[in-house]
Structure formats: structure tokens, C-alpha cells
Structure 1
Amino acid sequence: MTELSRRHLLAGAAAAGATTALSPFTSPSADAAVPPTGAQAPGFYRYKVGDYECTSINDGVFLRPIDNFVSNVAKDEAQAAADSAYMPKGMVAVPFNPQLINTGSKLVLIDCGNGVSMLGPSKGRAGRTLQNLAAAGVDPKSIDIVLMSHLHPDHTNGIRAADGSMAFPNAEIMVPAKDWEFWMSDENAAKAQSNEMMKNYFANVKKIYAGIESKVTKYDWGKEVAPGITSIATPGHTPGHTSFAVASGSSKILIQSDVTNIPEFFLRNPDWHVVYDVDPETAQTTRHKFYDMAAAEKATVVGFHFPFPSIGHVEKDGAKYRLVPVGWDPVI
């Protein structure tokens, strides 16, 4: 009986390399070498909610230094969580996943990603929503509503095309009333001048919505904001941060937006605070309430920062939670 060990694995890898190196001399090949493709497959995944056809659209996965990503624990503790998730050393991998909901009467895009202006600076890692919509056969002109969960750049900047024009020219742009009030306030912006990140966020909202302010529809919580889509109050990440219940027939999903950022950190450690939270304590309270509800209902949950295709179930695990991703289904 042969026992498997790390020594055997390394020896096997070395032997395989030697065989490859010798193969031109030991066994002639009829096939020419095939160069690597160097490109990933399009990022979209379709699923059903009752009669609604939904599509998870990947905007990319951004790598950022771990630094202060978790604001209320030591960097070493956050690094240990990253290591447990096999992330690149010293980095955090953050996915972005807008959701397209076809209700039959309306085509609704929930959040729209970082925008194509991020493709260059991120070296193609972020800003992929438009190209993945195209790969999914969706013309941006056909989208009726772009529904924002909140006004952070990775959710809202995608409304602009590369030349600054509207990426979804026929869409109604809907934003949470409370978030609009907060980010458009000159008084709030003045208070944020000492915080570089918040200062930039305020400036970004003004820039992205410049010239279209009067065309933006503000919505409230607890309302049907589009057919079968109801807004849910989940404040803390931002003052107007919103999640959504999407229901058709007897089927329902919860789109949690940024109730938690990446689950490897903030489901496993629900009292950790992501650096982007405007009100971390409220966000923490919201997180527990939302996931206690989702776990009790055994609800399907969609997370903007969950690993693509970003769909799963959240279970209680003592005082923590864990994500159980859905299995890939080749049939819609």
C-alpha cells in the first residue's frame, strides 16, 4: 500500500515536469502546441424566481490591500481570515455582482457596478458590467430601470459610459431617498472633509449625477419600487442603504446588497466592521437582524460581494453565520 505524503506529491510534480521536458525526444506528437487563451469566460448566470428570469452579472473582482479593510480588529486577525479563505497574501478579493431582473413587463438592473472607467486602472479586474451584459445578449438600451441600493461608487458609477454619457439611456434611475439626501447635502460633505475616503465619496456622487439630478427618482423603504421588487430598510453601511425582496408567485429571493461585504469575513464574523460603513454600529445591528430573518426563512440570498454567481443560503452557526452557495445549474 502506498501512502500519500507531501514528499510524494513534490516528487510526482518533478517527474511530470521531467517527462514534459523529455517528450519531444521520447514520443513524437502529431499536434502543434496550443497557446494559452489569456482570457476568462463571460461572467453571467441566469436563474429563476417564479416567472421572473434573473441574471447575475459579474462586474469583476477587485484585489485591495488588507490594511484597514476591517476597521475594528487588528490587521493580523483580518489577515488570518484572509489566509483561511486562501486569498492572495496581504490582499482581499472583493467581487461585484449587479442583478438583472426581467419581470416580463420591466427589465430592472439592481446596481450597475464600478463603470467602464475602472477597466483601465484595475487592469480589467473591475468595470465589466457592460461587456457581460452584452455577452448575455442584453442591450443597455433595453433596460427600463436602474435601481440603486446605495450610492457608493462600486454600485452607482456604472450609469456612465466611457464618454460620460448615460450607459443605460432609456432607463429610469432610482435611488434611495435617504441616501440621496445624505450624499447630496453640502453640510454633510463639509463635515467629511477630514476623512479622505468620505470626502471622495461625496465628490463622486456629485460628479456622477451632475446634470441629471432632476431625472432621478427617489424611492422610500417598504414600497414596491418595480413589479415584484420591494425595498427593505437595511441602514448602516450608508444611511439609506437598501436591500430588496424579489417575489414572483410563491418564490422569493432577498438581494442583500451590502448588508455584509465578503462573507468570508463578515458572515463568519458579523461584529466586524468593514471600513466603508458610514455607521458601523447600525450596520452591525442590521446584519444580525437581516441574517436571523434570512436563516429562519431559509431564504435564498443574493449578495453584491458574494463570490460569483453570488447566490446562496445563510445559516446560523452559533453566534456566527455561514454561506451555503447554490450549486451551478445548467438549466434555467
Structure 2
Amino acid sequence: MNRREHLKLTGLTAIAAVTGTIPPASTARAQTSTGATSLLVNLGVYRYRVGDFTVTAIQDGGFAGPPLERVITNAEFPAVQAALADAFQPTDRFPITFTTLVVETGQHTVAIDAGAAGFFGPTAGRLPAGLAAAGIDTAKVDVVLLTHLHPDHITGLRTASGDLLFPNATIHAPEVELGYWLDEATAGRAADAAKPFFQNAVRVLGPVSGAIIRISGEKEVIPGITAIPAHGHAPGHTVYQIASGNDGLLVIGDVANNPALFVRYPDWQPIFDMDRPMAVETRRRLLDRAATERLHVAGYHFPFPAHGYVRRDGSGFAYVPAPWLPQYG
């Protein structure tokens, strides 16, 4: 096993350990339809424009997350607490939320990632209800773009009965991710705590793996949406830049988890990143791109509605949530 492979597996074991006990896939599927309604009073649905495209952010829910002191590997705990206090966020735990995007381009209806569907417990899996509230027919979604294959991004592709949530969609996924998570030998070398991540990928994507379109390198995957390699958080982690007219949105997936920490301090390394030094390089590169090009930025784990802007601030960056701008006339 080479050093890079060791880093990946070590990082994955840490992710599994820090997030706590992971329920078996059968349990997770059953939890999708129970309990969440009472825990999430309001469905998170938010619509905005990127040029001529319509983007709908749908909050899938989340979970309590790990104790805060276990999250960042290279910063003093009081500094982490201070950063969150400055952002008026909890300083004892690290709550994690999930936001899927649906992009309507006029040619395609595109889902970017698909939610956790109960993998981390019953407080996630609200994507189907959110789609219904937004008036989006799952049969009309014809493209799915995956940033990577961690369970909180792909489990929602399957319904509680095991059917595909988007039955008519062509799935696009990073080639490196598919090669990693669907590989039996790699799964066999993983720690027991990490094996459910591999098993989940096989369950969700294995039956349709032959039909998945593999993404590699930076290229336009459908008109107006370009895939950009963003490795580090996961072996083949990929982000998507949306362009319409003079407007743009950089969908950064898990490049930065909580903006109060990892946008403000991009060199801080969360335990969730499988190759942390590479993730830092990727984070700085993409945040700099967003600041330079004045792009909207959408983060999968950002506070809902999970989009805003990035500007340079000292040795790091600052995240500015996008204001709600009503249209008059």
C-alpha cells in the first residue's frame, strides 16, 4: 500500500470514528420515512437565479455531528471555539447539514448530490419531501451530478423501497471515486468502522455502475456546467461551475464544510478530509477562484440556503451569505 492510499484509508477510518455509530443500510433506509417530520418543522426550499438558470436549494436535514474538539486536527481548540463564537454558532458540537441543488437550465433538470437518506440517522432524508414542496417532479430530473461518493451525498439516490429516486436520470460521477469506492480490494483493506461507506456505495451505485458516465479532468459535462477536479476531501472529489450569461455559481461540495472555520481559516484541516494536505491546496485554489471571479458559491454543508460569496480577508477568506433580493416589476 502506497502512502497516498494509506492516507485515504486512515482518513476514512477517522471520519467513521468521529461521526459515531453508523446504522446498517437496511436500518438507514427504514429511518428515512420515520421521525424526521417532527424534527424538522419547516421544509428547507429556496430558489434563486444564476443567469437564465433556476437553482433550487433543498435542505435534506442533518445530524448533531461530533464533539467540536474532535473536528480540527491542526488548530488549538480555544481558537476553533472563538471562530465559531464570532459567527454565533455552537461551540460544543459540530452540527452538520446537507443541501442538494436542483438546477433547471432550460435543456436539463440537474440534481447535484442527493442527500443522506437516513444514513446518519432519522434527522436527514428530507429531499423527497423538499422536491415535492418545490414542485419538482423526480421523473423530470434527467441528470445527476455527484461530487463524490460519501454516503451523505449518494444515499438519497435510492428510495426506502430501493428504487432510484430519479428513475430517468443519467448519473455522472468522478471516475476516481467510482474506482475507489466500488473496489473490493480497497474495501477489504478498510477498517471495520469504515466498511459501511464502501457497502453503501455498492448498494446505491453498484447495480447501475455500468450506465454511469465517468468524469475525469476539467470539462463541460452538460451545457453550462463544468466539472473541476477538487481532490483531497475524497480521492476523486469534484466540484461544478455553473455559467449562464455573465453569472456563475461554483458548487464546491465538501471543499469547505463550515464557512466560519474553513473559509475563514482555509489551512485548518478537518478530520473529514481523507488527504488533508491536498484538501488544503484544493480549498485555497477554489476559494481564490471564487473571490477573483466574484462567483456565487454553494457549499453542501453551509448553513441553509447554503450559498453566498467569498472575498479575501487577511491570510484567509470571508464568507458573505447572499441576500434575498425580491424582484419588483
TM-score normalized by the length of structure 1 = 0.81
Where do 1:38-117 residues align within 5 Å?
40-65=41-66, 66-88=68-90, 90-115=92-117, 117=118
Q: Secondary structure at the match of 1:58?
A: strand
Among candidates 227, 233, 250, match of residue 231 of structure 1: 227
Contact 1:302 1:311 (C-alpha < 8 Å) held by counterparts: yes
| Structure 1 residue 297 corresponds to structure 2 residue 293 | yes
| Structure 1 residue 163 corresponds to structure 2 residue 165 | no
Q: In the TM superposition, what is the alpha-carbon distance from 1:80 to its structure 2 partner?
A: 3.9
Q: Distance in 2 between matches of 1:165 and 1:276?
A: 29
| Partner residue, 1:280 | 276
Give a deviation string over 1:133-168, Cα, whole Å, max 9, x none.
110001111110111011011111110001111111
| Partner residue, 1:201 | 197
Bigger RCO of structures 1 and 2 (CA < 8 A, at least 6 apart): 2
| Partner residue, 1:183 | 181
Task: State percent identity of aligned pairs.
Answer: 38
211-220 vs 310-319, which deviates more?
211-220
Q: In the TM superposition, what is the alpha-carbon distance from 1:291 to its structure 2 partner?
A: 1.0
90-99 vs 253-262, which deviates more?
90-99
Contact 2:45 2:57 (C-alpha < 8 Å) held by counterparts: yes
Change (3 A) 1:137 1:270: same
Which amino acid in structure 1 is aligned with residue 174 of structure 2?
Answer: P
- Where structure 1 has 5 or more consecutive residues not aligned to the other structure, the ranges are 1-36
Change (3 A) 1:76 1:188: farther
| Partner residue, 2:7 | none
Which amino acid in structure 2 is aligned with residue 260 of structure 1?
Answer: A
Which amino acid in structure 1 is aligned with residue 42 of structure 2?
Answer: A
Contact 2:99 2:115 (C-alpha < 8 Å) held by counterparts: yes
Q: Secondary structure at the match of 1:55?
A: strand
Change (3 A) 1:193 1:308: same
Q: In the TM superposition, what is the alpha-carbon distance from 1:118 to its structure 2 partner?
A: 4.7
| Partner residue, 1:131 | 129
Contact 2:119 2:155 (C-alpha < 8 Å) held by counterparts: no
Larger radius of gyration: 1
Q: Distance in 1 between matches of 2:57 and 2:240?
A: 15
Contact 1:221 1:242 (C-alpha < 8 Å) held by counterparts: no
Contact 1:295 1:315 (C-alpha < 8 Å) held by counterparts: yes
- Where structure 2 has 5 or more consecutive residues not aligned to the other structure, the ranges are 1-37
Q: Secondary structure at the match of 2:312?
A: strand
Aligned-residue RMSD, C-alpha: 2.1
Q: In the TM superposition, what is the alpha-carbon distance from 1:183 to its structure 2 partner?
A: 1.4
Give a deviation string over 1:292-316, Cα, whole Å, max 9, x none.
1211222211111111111111111
Q: Distance in 1 between matches of 2:174 and 2:40?
A: 37
